Structure 1
Amino acid sequence: MTALVRYLLADLVRSQRYLPVVIAFLAVLGVLYSGDPGDPVSAYAGSCVMVYPIAAWFAVVVATAEDPVQRTVTAVTAGGWGRLQVGVAGLATLGAVTLSVLGAVAPVLISGHPYGPVEVAIGLGAHLSCSFTGTAVGLLVSRPVINRIGWTAVAAMGIVVITFPLKRMPPVGAVLGLLSDRDVGHALPVLAGSGALAAVLLVVATAVSRFAARRS
């Protein structure tokens, strides 16, 4: 599986399709933290709002990096469509983790604001919850579940737009509520619950995409 993920990563790097995702997120971080971001905890809400759709976008990019013919060859070489989809989910998850780390350390590196280990840990947990949820969305709406990129974009946008108004609903709503309220005292149970739910959603999305791949 490690070799498969490394191959998918190399192919993604060659395609350069990841660049708009990374550039967009770095631009957001630059705008958010170029000045005074304010309270260390609530400042993370802005980047968490963005990491959710961007992680979904990255998952779609990973799932569609190869054309259908090349992806078929990769599936045969990998040992089947199901195994390939697990590799795709693994690479998309690594991307989500990378985006989360960038989001958590960005204010420390850019703003120079006093962020302690507790604030950074809260930021990392919040970003992971949102990015894992986004990755699950991306896997559910991309190939092989939805094979047309236009419908994939519409579905991803629709899910993100619908879930944002659901305030306090885990995992994303609960995390954003925690950050907005600066409720550090309840950070551990909220982040643990939201993170666990996001991980479950990611596993379910991987299973659905794997089933769809086997049926295709």
Structure 2
Amino acid sequence: MIALTRYSLSMLVRGQAYIAPFVLFGTAIVVLTTNDLGPITGTYSACALTQFVCGLWFTVAIVNTEDRAQRSMTVVAAGGQRRVLAANALAATVVAGGLTAIGVAYPAFSGTHTVTAADLAVGALAQLVCGVAGVAVGLLCSRVVIPKAGYAVFASLAAIGALTMIPPVPPVSPVMTLLSGPEPAGRMLAPIAAFGAFAVAMLVASVLIAEQVARRQD
């Protein structure tokens, strides 16, 4: 699995498909958090939203790096579609972890905030939760599930709208609402961790669904 994950990351770098989502992430973080005032947890809400969108984009980029013939060979060599999809998801999660480090540190130094350890923990956990949710959605919007690019774009936009604008739909919207609320950071850890478990369940389900769809298309 480690070798497959490294292969997924290397293909992402070689194809330079990481540039657009990384530029989006960097631009959004700088624009939305530089010289920001007030509770830093509110600032982390914008970072979490950015993580979700970029996590989705990075995942699609990772899965779509190989064309159909190349992916078929990778699946055979790896021993199955599920292993390749799991490696793709793990690679995208690694990327989300790297972006989380930036998304937690930059707002703390660029704005005027009183930052505690609980604030940093909440910010990191919330961004990881939204990043993993983005990976889960990205798998279902990739070429493996939706072969036509136009339909994939519409599906991605619909998913982003549903998970960020409909409050009851977990985990992204509730996490953003929680971060923007008046609760102290210490009290946010437990509910955000619960949403994290939901995001992991989403990811597992997405891998299984993508595997079944890919088998039928093959």
Q: TM-score, normalised by structure 1?
A: 0.93
Q: Are 1:186 and 2:187 matched, yes or no?
A: yes
Q: Once structures 1 and 2 are overlaid, which stretch shifts more, 71-80 or 126-135?
A: 71-80
Percent identity of the aligned residues? Answer: 34
Q: Are 1:121 and 2:121 matched, yes or no?
A: yes
Which position in structure 1 is the counterpart of 2:138?
A: 138
Show CA shifts across 1:85-115 (max 9, x none): 1211111221222222221222124336442
Show CA shifts across 1:19-74 (max 9, x none): 11111101111112221342111111111122211111111111101111222222
2:39/2:113 contact within 8 Å kept: no
Show CA shifts across 1:106-149 (max 9, x none): 21243364422111101011111111111111111212111112
**What is the 5 A alignment of 1:1-216?**
1-111=1-111, 113-184=113-184, 185-215=186-216, 216=218
1:41/1:182 contact within 8 Å kept: no
Q: Once structures 1 and 2 are overlaid, which stretch shifts more, 186-195 or 75-84?
A: 75-84
Distance 2:98 2:68 in 1: 27
In structure 1, give the amino acid aligned to 2:125.
G
2:163/2:170 contact within 8 Å kept: no
Name the SS for the 2:17 alignment partner: coil
Q: Once structures 1 and 2 are overlaid, which stretch shifts more, 83-92 or 164-173?
A: 164-173
1:85/1:213 contact within 8 Å kept: no
In structure 1, give the amino acid aligned to 2:187.
H
1:212 CA drift (Å)? 2.2
Name the SS for the 1:164 alignment partner: helix
Alpha carbon RMSD of aligned pairs, Å? 1.7
Distance 1:5 1:109 in 2: 32
Name the SS for the 1:170 alignment partner: coil
The 1:50/1:186 distance shift into structure 2, 3 A limit, reads same
Q: Once structures 1 and 2 are overlaid, which stretch shifts more, 157-166 or 119-128?
A: 157-166
Name the SS for the 1:70 alignment partner: helix
Q: Once structures 1 and 2 are overlaid, which stretch shifts more, 56-65 or 165-174?
A: 165-174
1:162 CA drift (Å)? 2.2
Name the SS for the 2:165 alignment partner: coil
Name the SS for the 1:43 alignment partner: helix
In structure 1, give the amino acid aligned to 2:90.
G
Matched residue count: 216
1:9/1:91 contact within 8 Å kept: yes
2:36/2:43 contact within 8 Å kept: no
1:11 CA drift (Å)? 1.3
Distance 1:179 1:84 in 2: 35
Unaligned runs of 5+ in 2: none
1:5/1:87 contact within 8 Å kept: yes
